[in-house]
């Protein structure tokens, strides 16, 4: 109680008084804390300047042109060309050791990209040569125009399935293969225009508005669609549906049970067991 009374400014006689120990220092600190620090108000901005700042923050969050400030005109032109063609920025510092590493990486990826491209072309009902072109042409273009060293460029299974299913509803690849190929080239051309426009206009921020649930749902749906489409080859069915829905695919599998081939099923199961076993063996 004595300590508490002393702390709250009471003396031994019970009368209220000042702080016994360090009273002068405490009063100085209290006086210093009582000083008001005024903060200047931010400068007034017009609606146009606020809108300009918001647009710049949305479309150019990293401010790619900040390095252009205070540079001569010739340097600005060189930097602009390097910005459009990033290969001109890293090629001067490219060395032979990097080339050897890239050669090994290229051969490794090619061993995977070649059969993968052929299978993707098969999913889209296109000739295998188209799958080979789509495997090495996009990386060559991206090496000149791209800036990421870790981005995988090329066809994907879900895009091949969707394009093949969409085109088969209009044209039969067996009856009119040339027209089917022309439609495939036209659709991929316009898809490339849209992607190039998104890159030039720097609209990559749109992905920030997609929730995680949307992305997970898309990946799960793509995995299910790809798995269902593999039932045709896994069971050896010849007359298979061209639709990608769960009900049409399962109905086609059940209605064509007479076309099931036990040799094909046995081979597919053996390869699946081999792939799963090799995956777990590679972890040790």
pLDDT tens, the chain, 284 aa long: 444 444 444 444 444 444 444 556 666 666 655 556 667 777 888 888 888 877 777 666 666 677 777 888 888 888 888 887 888 888 888 888 888 988 998 888 888 888 888 888 888 888 888 888 888 888 888 888 877 777 778 788 888 888 888 888 888 888 888 999 999 999 989 988 998 888 777 777 777 788 888 888 888 888 888 888 888 888 888 888 777 778 888 888 888 888 888 888 899 889 888 888 887 775 55
Parent domain of 279? 211-284
pTM of the model: 0.61
Residues 130 and 217 in one domain: no
The answer as to whether 77 is a domain residue is: no
The answer as to whether 50 is a domain residue is: no
The answer as to whether 43 is a domain residue is: no
The answer as to whether 76 is a domain residue is: no
Residues 164 and 229 in one domain: no
The answer as to whether 216 is a domain residue is: yes
The answer as to whether 245 is a domain residue is: yes
| Residue at a domain's end among 185, 209, 233 | 209
Residues 101 and 157 in one domain: yes
Residues 125 and 188 in one domain: yes
Residues 253 and 204 in one domain: no
Residues 152 and 224 in one domain: no
The answer as to whether 78 is a domain residue is: no
Residues 276 and 173 in one domain: no
User: Distance between CA atoms of 229 and 234, rounded to whole angstroms?
Assistant: 9
Residues 169 and 259 in one domain: no
Residues 196 and 221 in one domain: no
The answer as to whether 47 is a domain residue is: no
């Amino acid at each position: 109680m004595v300590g508490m009374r002393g702390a709250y400014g009471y003396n031994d006689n019970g009368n209220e008084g000042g702080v016994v120990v360090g009273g002068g220092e405490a009063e100085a600190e209290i006086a210093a804390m009582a000083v008001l620090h005024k903060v200047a108000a931010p400068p007034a901005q017009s609606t146009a300047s606020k809108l300009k700042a918001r647009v710049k923050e949305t479309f150019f969050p990293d401010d790619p042109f900040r390095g252009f400030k205070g540079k001569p005109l010739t340097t600005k032109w060189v930097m602009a060309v390097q910005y459009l063609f990033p290969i001109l920025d890293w090629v001067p510092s490219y060395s032979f050791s990097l080339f050897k590493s890239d050669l090994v990486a290229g051969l490794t990826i090619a061993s995977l990209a070649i059969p993968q491209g052929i299978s993707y072309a098969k999913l889209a009902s296109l000739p295998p040569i188209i799958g080979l072109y789509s495997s090495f042409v996009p990386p060559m273009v991206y090496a000149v125009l791209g800036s990421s060293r870790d981005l995988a460029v090329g066809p994907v299974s879900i895009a091949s399935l969707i394009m093949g299913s969409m085109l088969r509803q209009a044209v039969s690849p067996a009856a009119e293969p040339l027209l089917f190929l022309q439609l495939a080239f036209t659709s991929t051309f316009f898809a490339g225009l849209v992607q190039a426009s998104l890159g030039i206009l720097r609209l990559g921020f749109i992905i920030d508005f997609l929730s995680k649930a949307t992305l997970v749902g898309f990946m799960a749906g793509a995995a299910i669609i790809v798995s269902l489409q593999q039932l045709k080859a896994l069971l050896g069915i010849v007359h298979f549906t061209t639709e990608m829905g769960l009900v049409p695919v399962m109905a086609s599998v059940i209605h064509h049970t007479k076309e099931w081939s036990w040799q094909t099923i046995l081979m597919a199961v053996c390869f699946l067991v081999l792939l799963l076993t090799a995956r777990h063996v590679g972890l040790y």
